Amino acid sequence: MKVYMFSGSGFVWRVQLACVLKGVPYDQARVEASERGLKSPQFLALNSRGRVPVLRDGGFVLSESSAILAYLERKHPEPPLFGRSAQETGLIWKAILDFDLYVSCHWVSDILRPVLTGQAEAHADRIKEGFREAADELAKLEAQIAGRDWFVGGTVSAADITIYPLLEGLLRAAGKPDMEHIDHGLLPFGDRHPNLEAWMNRIRALPGYDETYPAYWREMDGAPVAAQ
């Protein structure tokens, strides 16, 4: 099995976490995060939207991180990431769709993309508004996770590994030097979000987590590069 990826993509990170939690080995095929890589005819033949992640399993090719998680679940049912009861499965899908349809798309377009492409100054108003809306959504997530270890059920699920990588990316963007003039009030994160912070620490402590941590971030932060 091969995962087409670039390091630092939250959507790719979901698939990597699912693979390590299920103990499914995979190879990584790095795609250049530029027109030459993602929008090359070769890559567009795998995903016409020119985005990662893409999974190739033998002759089968699949894009969209949630679809890939569902595929992995069906192919490698244990341990389940989509619950053990109909209710849990429904609630996990609800959490995934709620996050991707109403939250992550705004984080990406209003904050992550302008910040990570070095266009923070040009899009300062949009970023400020993005952080204001993110604060509301984070308050809802903080309330949802209060008193629980995981978003749905008694163990880590696809809901957790869907939300976590994008939140980690948001916090990383919020901590960039370019953000100093934007009063997003997000950091230190645990001050207003102690329950989410505790939950993030539970994810970071999962077996295999370290090997999924973006190598590119480690390189940028000057820490030793892991296996990725």
Ligand X SMILES: N[C@@H](CCC(=O)N[C@@H](CS)C(=O)NCC(=O)O)C(=O)O
Smallest separation, CB 110 to ligand X (Å): 14
Residues of this chain that bind ligand X (CB under 6 A): 9-11, 38, 50-53, 64-66
Smallest separation, CB 15 to ligand X (Å): 8
Phi then psi dihedrals of residue 14, to 5 deg: -55, -45
Q: Please, which residue, 13 or 198, has the CB nearer to ligand X? A: 13
Q: Please, which residue, 46 or 179, has the CB nearer to ligand X? A: 46
Q: Please, which residue, 51 or 193, has the CB nearer to ligand X? A: 51
Q: Please, which residue, 84 or 94, has the CB nearer to ligand X? A: 94
Which of 141, 155, 148, 147 has the alpha carbon at shortest distance from 207? 155
Smallest separation, CB 60 to ligand X (Å): 16
Which of 138, 139, 136, 110 has the alpha carbon at shortest distance from 123? 110
Q: Please, which residue, 17 or 52, has the CB nearer to ligand X? A: 52
Smallest separation, CB 40 to ligand X (Å): 12
Smallest separation, CB 174 to ligand X (Å): 17
Which of 193, 195, 146, 149 has the alpha carbon at shortest distance from 174? 193
Torsion of CA 166, 167, 170, 172, to 10 degrees: -100
Contacts of 163 (CB under 8 A, 6+ apart): 95, 99, 141, 151
Structure tokens at 81: 């990431």
| Residue in this structure with the two tokens 């000057």, named with its chain if needed | 222
